[in-house]
Structure 1
């Protein structure tokens, strides 16, 4: 158990340090915003570019890995919708927003550093394969469902166009796309350029963890406590349990199996709140789920690591 805590506690201590720094006024919210701009527009795209450009595509994009993880995403999305409709007694648009939060795991800011500390940087190939498809998959499912239940406004086509434009200009997606292009073309960066990209990428995860803590100060644990509990339980327990069962059923290789389960065990990502805010639905539940889910994952992720 001490070995597991040695993996998870440092990650959450960095998040906690960012939270305390902003909460106590040592680091301003504007400075945190600037730090997150650096990590999300420069450092993490560089990290993803390097990872995908050197990825063994046949090994990384293994259908059993993607099936084990993303079938769980769909199950969590449906569970969030049904729980919101029949347990919380809220409308279908709120249900889609809660379902999206239950489905959208924090695969990068939490998933990568914990997996790297647990199993080593050489184990991250399946993690990067999941990350490469994650935002596009979740947003497509979320927007398609939201526009379907709304049956009005810009409609499904308009919503899909909005998401497509957003993803096409998203720095994380651009990092993945450029890395994939370099990989397929068999190219490599010149030595000095490669070293510069690696230097920027080396700052990505610690800076992002500190910034995530600062961002969480903006969220308050308010709203429907049952809704928060529903969302967190699905994200932290159901998703990894499903990935575990599906991975064993499909005979997933051990490294990919661990990546699927551990990535599925991550708390709801900040994009959960952004999706809810974009549609004006279940905003307090999703914001609180990001905050409380991240705090609760200190225990739940340690538990899943112990089982693994």
Structure 2
């Protein structure tokens, strides 16, 4: 157990340090936004580019891993949608619940954990997770949110087009695409440039966790506590459980090869991360930031215990 705590404690200690630093005035909320922009627009794109550019795509991408992570996410969308439909949850709150249960924080929490657990594969795991999240899971849940709005005259095609270009323009996705292009071209990067990318990539983990903690300060915490608790349970328990089922049954159903033990552990842990950091911000546009903030706070705090337990089971 001490070996497992040696992995999870630094992660959540940095989150707590970020929270305390803003809560007691050493940093301002605006500082967290600036640091967050650095991570999102500079450090993570550099990390993803570096993880992919100097490897062949066959070495970088595991179709079996991608399929399991995708299947677990899609199953979570379906199960949570049906659950909240049966409970009579309204359209907007239902869509917010589905998003919170399905979209993990792979960049800010998942990558630092993988860096401690599987340092040689952490960047590749992040790249594969972000492919599924940015091109499937997040757009699908955003469409559910958009569908809960009153009709504004915009057709389905225009909404899909706007979502697609919104994804493509993200710096993380651009970094990933650029890395794939370099890999396909077989280019060799100058050593000075790779060292620069290494330095930027190394800054990602600690700053990202610090920002997660600092960003929790001041979130509105008024809302439906019962629904928030269901979202937390969906994210920390249901999503990894369904991903574990996909890990077992998808190869039997499709004939896909089994993924190696390290990636088996990684795909379940990736699904068990708390929801992504802009969750409350997206919910604010629909008037439900209180529920989302409660769920985000609960999932971030609860993940220390659920991830520690999962590591004990999977190790």
Structure 2 length as normaliser, TM-score? 0.90
Equivalent residue runs for 1:1-308 within 5 Å? 1-87=1-87, 89-122=88-121, 124-148=123-147, 150=149, 152-153=151-152, 154-249=154-249, 250=251, 251-278=258-285, 280-308=286-314
Q: Secondary structure at the match of 2:246?
A: helix
| CA drift at 1:284 | 1.8
| CA drift at 1:171 | 1.0
Alignment length, in residue pairs?
Answer: 306
Structure 1 length as normaliser, TM-score? 0.92
RMSD in angstroms over aligned alpha carbons? 1.9
Task: Deviation per CA, 1:131-158: give whole Å up to 9, x if none.
Answer: 2331221232123334445572223223
- Partner Cα separation in structure 2 for residue 180 and residue 273 of structure 1: 32
**Contact 1:94/1:281 (CA < 8 Å) preserved in 2?**
no
5+ unaligned residues in a row in structure 2: which ranges?
A: 252-257
**Shift in alpha-carbon separation, 1:94–1:149, aligned structure 2, 3 A:** same
| CA drift at 1:99 | 0.4
5+ unaligned residues in a row in structure 1: which ranges?
A: none
Task: Deviation per CA, 1:172-199: give whole Å up to 9, x if none.
Answer: 1111111111111111322222212221
- Partner Cα separation in structure 2 for residue 252 and residue 199 of structure 1: 30
**Shift in alpha-carbon separation, 1:265–1:136, aligned structure 2, 3 A:** same
**Contact 2:19/2:210 (CA < 8 Å) preserved in 1?**
yes
